[in-house]
Amino acid sequence: MALDEEKKRSVHEFFADNPEKADKTFFGRISNPDRRGFLKRTGLATMAAMVGTSIPFHRNMPIGFVPAAMAQQNVLVGKDGLTLLNDRPINAETPPEYLDDAITPTSRHFIRNNGIPPEDVDPASWTLTIDGFVDTPMELTIADLRAQFEVVTMALTLECGGNGRGFFNPPAKGNQWTYGAVACSEWTGVRLKDVLEKAGVQSNVVYTAHYGADGHLSGDPDKLPISRGVPISKAMTDNVLIAFEMNGDALHPMNGAPLRLVVPGWPASTAQKWLTRIELRDQVHDGPKMTGTAYRVPGYPVSAGQDVPKEDFVIIERMPVKSLVTFPANGADTGMETEVRGHAWSGDRTISRVEVSTDFGSTWIDADLDSPVNDGAWQNWRANVTLPQAGYYEVWARATDSEGVMQPFAIDWNPKGYLNNTMHRVGIRAS
């Protein structure tokens, strides 16, 4: 069942409305005839992490049961305050004010699924195959990755290509993301570049192909929900990771545990979750969500509602310059003086300037802007504003990147609702 704009629900509401379905979806619990639930290892680990200790009598929990400690905190399955956009597959975004941390906590990292998450995600038995046009095909366990390659930790920005789709008119089909399909968490893993170099990249390779263990929504085992890739030049950069940890802990089940790619600055759809195989190809990859109009935009400006031939679409590569206001929250009551803060990012580039306006764009002030903590991380910014009198104001923010490209007030429409980087506006009431 897809959820339209009027039916967005928090993850907590999803549990309240349909506890048995939510229980199975999030924890992978298998029901028994007596209505008790058997928690798989990863589901039990997630629930134990939520309550802060082991659960000795977990086998006695009824189906749909939510531990009181979790319900009291309004924290479910490690996700705090997310808005559910779709429950088949699970997709949930984070309200901007919940993204105020410099490094996004796992509990507030958005969820973007294309299929059904796998049930067997034991890291001890997980393997990754590297094949295609390589000199030495490899099958690696997570222990192999840790032992054979340098393990690194980096803060890396992931953003869904459809972030902002909900603001297109006429509406574009797909999840109606507003602002919250973006995050910058710390990821620990090994560089994809190092693994590919060990396998031996042959001279005819032009593209990677990524495969995961998630299942197609139809249940057909011969179908893949998504299999995307990147040009080999992108794959060989220093900040594309094969990750097995997130913010110093195991990956969250809904964020790809136990192994995933992290491809910063490009659509997060290229960052395959539940990663099982990387194939090197001598052509642009043609897997599911790589052809037709998926993650593509017209190669030229089009008018709203215009029909565009499929052959005129081009693959989205780097994400555009963008900024987000995370404080104050939209609709907040403030004093006459307030701090304004947020983040800014721009694909493979850095941000050179962030400006803030409180008079509907008539004048702008420069915000204090931090450097990225590493290549691929968003940049944090802040500004102090003084408002002239009580009343309603809007905080507008715009970023300019290292190539001089400025975030626009509005962008041209496109059929799939991708790459919306219009300036973020937050309404406040000063008194």
- Pair 87, 13 in one domain: yes
What does the chain come to in residues? 431
Tokens of 152: 């690194």
State percent of the chain over pLDDT 70.
82
- Pair 300, 337 in one domain: no
- Pair 10, 108 in one domain: yes
What is the arithmetic mean of pLDDT over 10-23?
64
Residue 74 confidence (pLDDT): 37
How many structural domains are present in the chain? 3
Looking at 77, 112, 147, the residue that finishes a domain is: 112
Which of 74-88, 100-114, 267-281 has the lowest average pLDDT?
Answer: 74-88
CA atoms of 243 and 111, how far apart (whole Å): 16
The pLDDT tens digits for 345-372 are: 999 999 999 999 999 999 999 999 999 9
Q: In the sheet that 83-87 helps form, which strands lie side by side, from edge to edge? A: 9-10, 83-87, 90-93, 111-112
Tokens of 415: 């059929």
Q: Which domain covers residue 232, as residue numbers?
A: 127-315
CA atoms of 240 and 275, how far apart (whole Å): 14
> What is the pTM assigned to this prediction?
0.85
- Pair 168, 272 in one domain: yes
- Pair 183, 270 in one domain: yes
- Pair 200, 250 in one domain: yes
The pLDDT tens digits for 392-423 are: 999 999 999 999 999 999 999 999 999 999 99
Looking at 55, 81, 112, the residue that finishes a domain is: 112
Find the CATH number of the domain harbouring 327. Answer: 2.60.40.650
Does residue 74 fall inside a structural domain?
yes
- Pair 357, 286 in one domain: no
The pLDDT tens digits for 159-192 are: 999 999 999 999 999 999 999 999 999 999 999 9
- Pair 168, 47 in one domain: no
Whether 66 shows a pLDDT value over 60: the answer reads no
The pLDDT tens digits for 309-329 are: 999 999 999 999 999 999 999
Does residue 118 fall inside a structural domain?
no
Question: Which residues are CB-contacts of 120 (< 8 A; sequence separation ≥ 6)?
Answer: 40
Which of 294, 285, 152, 188 has its CA nearest to residue 231?
285
- Output the CA angle 216-222-225, nearest 5 degrees: 25
CA atoms of 183 and 103, how far apart (whole Å): 8
The pLDDT tens digits for 201-238 are: 999 999 999 999 999 998 899 999 999 999 999 999 99
Does residue 121 fall inside a structural domain?
no
- Pair 331, 298 in one domain: no
- Pair 71, 108 in one domain: yes
CB 234 within 8 A of CB 192: no
- Encode 284-302: b = buried (16+ Cβ within 10 Å), e = exposed: ebebbbbeeebbbbbeeeb
Residue 154 — φ and ψ, nearest 5°?
-140, 145
- Output the CA angle 102-190-261, nearest 5 degrees: 70
